[in-house]
Structure 1
Amino acid sequence: MPAGGRPTVRSRRLGGALRRYREAAKLDQQHAADHIAGSKAKISRIETGQVTARPGDVRLLLELYGVEDREVYRQLEQLARDSNKRGWWVNYPWALDPQYADYITLESDATYIRTWQPLFMPGLLQTDGYIQALLEAGVTAPEAEAIERATTGRRERRKAIEEGGARYAAVVWEPVITAPMPSMEVHRDQLMHLTDVAQRRNVSLQVLPLSEWQAAHRASHFVMFSFGAEPAPEAVAFDSTTSTIFVEELEDMAKHSEIFEELRSAALTPTQTLSFLRDQLAGLPDSEKDAE
């Protein structure tokens, strides 16, 4: 059973993939159960992520389903082995929230992350000062120690694109960049950081102009995750005030992919965005006093 007695995001991904391959092969759960000398209930639990299939069973099931792509075998067998793998985040208090832990697992495993943010700076692009300002502006401002823990955790998360090599594409609405931030220092540091990150080979950053109102209202914020060589997303996540919602159905994946491409088409190109950031940085007052 997945760690903690609940489906993990990895066990759900594995189960969902196996279910889709079974349905594509037009086989029922009893066929699958017979092939691995198991029960129909076991196949059901595997497909819903309640239990994790063993790598050997994954291989047998893929053979039964007529899957020929060896990369699929490699990825799903590895997913079975890693289902209960503990990440760096288990030592942080906020990892006790299963939804947040699931989100960081997706972020850590992803080979391609795409995000649309019309209100906040994307999480993986936030500076320490920006994160601290957000936390202090919350309904209940946390203590200094909690802010430091959260900031340290975010630094670890940034490694997904800074060291892990995952491809990252972000579209942000112009007010995210241009609206006044809590201090000129926070604003300047954030713009400098964006300018640096936007020049990374694995990063595509685009600003959606304020005038593109219709495109900006196609969807609220979301993050899409892909996990293999192909860019097709396998999960979408978005936050509410109190929880994180995960979407994994194929129709939803296709719709969010369509919206993201529309946003990218309406946005400034990455090269234009870099020039825009530099112009904004140059236009900032040198101090809070100069801004008055």
Structure 2
Amino acid sequence: MPAGGRPTVRSRRLGAALRRYRLAVKLDQPQAAEVIAAHQTRVSRIETGHVIARPIEIRAMLKAYGVDEPEVREKLEALAKQSNRRGWWLQHAEHLRPDYLDHIALEDDATYIREWQPVLVPGLLQTPAYAEAIITEGPNYVAPERVAQLVKVREGRQAKIEEGGAAYTAILWEAVIAHPLVSVEIHREQLSAILEVGKRKNVTVQVLPFSAGAVAGSTYAFSSFSFESEPTVEAVTMENLRGTSVLEDPEDLAAYANAYDQLRSAALAPDASARLIRSAL
């Protein structure tokens, strides 16, 4: 069972993949249960991520589902092994919501991370001062002793980008650049930091200008994640006042991939975006 008795994003990804392969060959759960000599309940719990499939079960299921690519088997077995792996963020788990832990786990696994942010500077780009101001002045009360902890977690998340562990693209609406939500001093420092991070080979920052019109209102802020060598969207997260929602349904993923393509097409090129940020400075 996943640590803590609740599905992790990795165990859910594993279960969702096995379910897709099962449905593709039109087998039901009782038939899948016969393949691994188990009760239907185990197959159900594997597919929902409440139970982690053993390597021998993964191999048997994939064989029954007609999936014989070694790379698929290796990927799913790796997910099974990693489902209970303790990430750096778990040392802060008592201070963080479970859904936020899921978001961090997706970032940690991702090879491609793409974000759209019409209001705030994304967490992966925030300076400590900006993060502290946003957390302190945000709509949800955060006890003073927790603020430093949350800022430290955001800095930990940024290590993934700093170390080149993922290709990262952020699209920011021009309002994020032009209208400070924090003090002018902190905002200036933040804009300078965005320009510096944008020089990294694995980072692309684009600004969607006001002139783009209604496309900026097409969707709320979201992040998308890919886990392979190609940037196919495999998970999306959206933040709201009550937490972070993780979307994994293929139709949802396709919709957000399309929305991101539209935003990127309407945004300024990276060089032009950098010039706009410098002009704001």
The one-letter amino acid of 2:171's match is V
Q: Which residue of 1 aligns with 2:280?
A: 280
Paired residues of 1:89 and 1:95 also in contact (CA < 8 A): no
Cα gap change, 1:180 to 1:76, in 2 (>3 Å): same
Say if 2:22 is the partner of 1:22: yes
Q: Which residue of 2 aligns with 1:127?
A: 127
Name whichever of 182-191 and 94-103 sits farther off: 94-103
Paired residues of 1:94 and 1:100 also in contact (CA < 8 A): no
Cα gap change, 1:198 to 1:59, in 2 (>3 Å): same
Q: Which residue of 2 aligns with 1:112?
A: 112
Paired residues of 2:2 and 2:84 also in contact (CA < 8 A): yes
Note the C-alpha offset of 1:96. Answer: 4.7
Distance 2:5 2:238 in 1: 24
Note the C-alpha offset of 1:95. Answer: 4.9
* Counterpart mapping for 1:209-224 below 5 A: 209-224=209-224
Name whichever of 100-109 and 144-153 sits farther off: 144-153
Q: Which residue of 1 aligns with 2:235?
A: 235
The one-letter amino acid of 1:129's match is A
**Unaligned stretches of 5+ residues in structure 2:** none
Distance 2:277 2:38 in 1: 58
Q: Which residue of 1 aligns with 2:34?
A: 34
Give the number of aligned pairs.
281
* Counterpart mapping for 1:80-119 below 5 A: 80-93=80-93, 95-119=95-119
Distance 1:84 1:2 in 2: 6
Name whichever of 7-16 and 144-153 sits farther off: 144-153
Distance 1:138 1:39 in 2: 48
Paired residues of 2:140 and 2:241 also in contact (CA < 8 A): no
Name whichever of 226-235 and 116-125 sits farther off: 226-235
Paired residues of 2:226 and 2:232 also in contact (CA < 8 A): yes
Distance 1:244 1:66 in 2: 35
Paired residues of 2:2 and 2:83 also in contact (CA < 8 A): yes
Paired residues of 2:134 and 2:182 also in contact (CA < 8 A): no
**Unaligned stretches of 5+ residues in structure 1:** 282-292
Distance 1:59 1:47 in 2: 15
Cα gap change, 1:140 to 1:269, in 2 (>3 Å): closer
* Counterpart mapping for 1:57-96 below 5 A: 57-93=57-93, 95-96=95-96
Distance 2:161 2:139 in 1: 30
